[in-house]
Structure formats: structure tokens, C-alpha cells
Amino acid sequence: MVSTIKNDRLLKALMRQPVDCTPVWLMRQAGRYLPEYRATRAQAGDFVTLCRTPELACEVTLQPLRRYDLDAAILFSDILTIPDAMGLGLSLDEGIGPRFERPVRDVAAIEALGIPDPELELGYVMEAVRLIRRELAGAVPLIGFCGSPWTLATYMVEGGGSREFRLAKKLMYDEPRAMHSLLDKLSRAATAYLNAQIAAGVDVVMVFDTWGGVLSTPDYHEFSLPYMRRIVEGLQREREGRRIPAILFTKGGGLWLESIAASGCDAVGIDWVCDLGSARERVGQRVALQGNLDPEMLYASPQRLRQGVADVLAAYGEGPGHVFNLGHGVTPQVDPEQVRLLVDAVHELSASCHRR
């Protein structure tokens, strides 16, 4: 295994160590806005097959790195691989989004769920990680990820995406013990999954809690955060003498930054609604912060986008501990040239934040 990473800005920033300029990567940096991604997906036939074919998953992971001066690669996969491996039957249709053939709606269905063995049912993900790591040859770190138990539970109970989370919330309110038992299984599955990714070669892990922000404050602290904390506590935090940093991202979690920062993670991802400067004051020295440009600013003029980058960098201010990202993923209609402008602007404009 390669044990040195040439560009280690991301790892340093996540550990709040000094860097020459602010590292940048983007959620959904591999995706439909790239013509080469659309071509590879067409070659695979559909999204799920793309995820399940390690050579193609490796190819799309590397595509944005060939174009842009990114400081990290993120494994190309999906958070819904775990429920799929639990037997729910995942499909994804353009315009409809993800669907499960066999949603989980009652106590009996929850009790019947097994914890997937990451090297068996999810072996294709580990194979992709090993391939990507070999291809990267230590150029930049590789980020692995999973969904938060709460976010996975919403898809599993609803049978797909949702706006009101009627069924997931009904289960949570009417049968909290059943919901806890589902979340408990998911946190065990996610911990094993991330540890297998670490063993296969990822350098950083991130937990995506896309739907934590739809919970009330007490419900977030009962049904989402504790299960992410359990994942963090169960992680293999070191490999080859190097720490594997863990990032937690709750979209809409700005109100709860202090409790997220106290969960044992190394960094907290924040969305664009949250002010980065006050976030930094609130978490103090405890964690690094990742974020938080409005993803829709990629549709603004080049000048406005560059100003937006400058504003995010200024909001964080001087010193280490910032990883530049969007507040959520790149959307499909974005002009790839705008992504180049963003990445280059981060490196250029941030050098002055790191003079000592």
C-alpha cells in the first residue's frame, strides 16, 4: 500500500494544522454536470450498475480530478448501498430518484433485517476503493462515506425520497422503539461498512445526514446525532500510523453545531444557511469546518461566483481548520467551467488566509 500522500492539504486542514492554502473538494463532484460522467453512466446502462461495477465507479471517481485541481477524491457510490445490501432492492430512475422495491414499514420487517457483511454484499464497493487507491497512487486523499442512520431510515421507510417524511415520522412518533431498533441496526451496519472502506484504503470518512435537519431539536438529539456518534466511536481511526479523520454533515444542522462538534468527530460540514464565521466561534478549537458556498451560486456570473468564494474564505478568516466545499452537492445543470473557476479561486484567494 502507498503510505505517503503528495497533496495532504485536506488531511492537514481536517486536523487543524497549517496549510499553504485552503483545500477544496465538492460534494457530488462526480455527477451529471460532467459529460464524461453521463457517457460512463450510459455505458453502464443505469446508475445502480455504475455503482456496482468497480472499474466504472473508479473511472467516474477520477473524472473530476482530471479536469480540476481538486484536493481530494470522493469514492463514487451512494449512501443507499447499505439498504440495498439489506435486501430492499434499489433502483434509480432519472427524474424520479431512488426507489426501494421492498420498503421497511413495520416491526416484523425491521426485525428481519440483517447486517450486511461489507466484504461480501458490499464487496463491490471495497473493490472500487482498492482500484481507486491504486490509480490515485497517493496523489490526493480518498474520502469514503456512508449515510447517517436517520437519513437511511427515511429512505427505507418511505421507499424512496420524500418531502414530508410522513411514514418515517409516523413510525418515529408512534413506535419509537421500532425506529430505535432500525437505527441501531443501521449504525452497526454503517460502522462495519466504513471500517471496511478504511481497511480497503480510504483516508477520510464522512457521514451524510441529509435529512437530520427536518427533525425537531429533541428528536435530532434522540434519533439522529446519537447514532452518528456511535459510528464515530466505533471507527478505526488510524491506519499505517496516520489518523483517519471523520467528518459529520447534517444538512440544516446549524442550530446544533455545538452538540455535533462534541460527538468525537474531527470536522463538521455546514450548509450555506449557516454563517461560517459564527460557526467557527461556536465550535472553537474542537473541530475543523467544511463548507459552505450556496451550490446554486455556481449558476451566477463568473465575477459573482469569485466574490462568493472570497466571501466564504473571509467569513472563516485566517488560520487553519477550513475545508472549502459547497453547502450541498453540485447540481446537474452546472457549467463545468464554473467549477474550474471556483476551485482555482479557492487556491488563489486563500493563500493570504495562511500567511504566518
Q: Does 313 bind ligand CP3 (CB under 6 A)?
A: no
Nearer to ligand CP3, 45 or 176 (CB): 45
Among 78-86, 214-222, 308-316, 344-352, the segment contacting ligand CP3 (CB under 6 A): 78-86
Backbone angles phi, psi at 325, to 5 degrees: -160, 175
Q: Which of 10, 48, 79, 205 binds ligand CP3 (CB under 6 A)?
A: 79
For 71, counting Cβ atoms within 10 Å of its Cβ (0-12 exposed, 13-18 middle, 19+ buried), the class is buried
Nearer to ligand CP3, 156 or 179 (CB): 156
41 is annotated as an active-site residue: yes
32 is annotated as an active-site residue: yes
Q: Which of 63, 210, 224, 338 binds ligand CP3 (CB under 6 A)?
A: 210
Rule CB under 6 A: which of 13-42 touch ligand CP3?
27-32, 41
Longest dimension (CA), the chain: 60
End-to-end CA distance of the chain: 35
User: What is the distance between the alpha carbons of residues 244 and 314, in angstroms, rounded to a whole number?
Assistant: 28
| Cell numbers that stand for 248 in this block | 459529520
28 is annotated as an active-site residue: yes
Q: Does 124 bind ligand CP3 (CB under 6 A)?
A: no
How open is the CA angle 165-96-92, to the nearest 5 degrees? Answer: 100
Q: Out of 8, 9, 16, 28, which one is annotated catalytic? A: 28
Q: Does 189 bind ligand CP3 (CB under 6 A)?
A: no
Q: Does 327 bind ligand CP3 (CB under 6 A)?
A: no
155 is annotated as an active-site residue: yes
Q: Does 295 bind ligand CP3 (CB under 6 A)?
A: no
Nearer to ligand CP3, 31 or 321 (CB): 31
Q: Which residues pair with 73 in a beta bridge?
A: 142
The position carrying cell 453512466 is 41
Q: Out of 68, 155, 220, 227, which one is annotated catalytic? A: 155
Q: Out of 16, 41, 99, 133, which one is annotated catalytic? A: 41
Q: Hey, which bits of 124-211 come out as E strands? A: 142-147, 204-209
Whether the CB-CB separation of 92 and 48 falls below 8 Å is answered with: yes
Question: Which residues are marked as active site?
Answer: 28, 32, 41, 78, 155
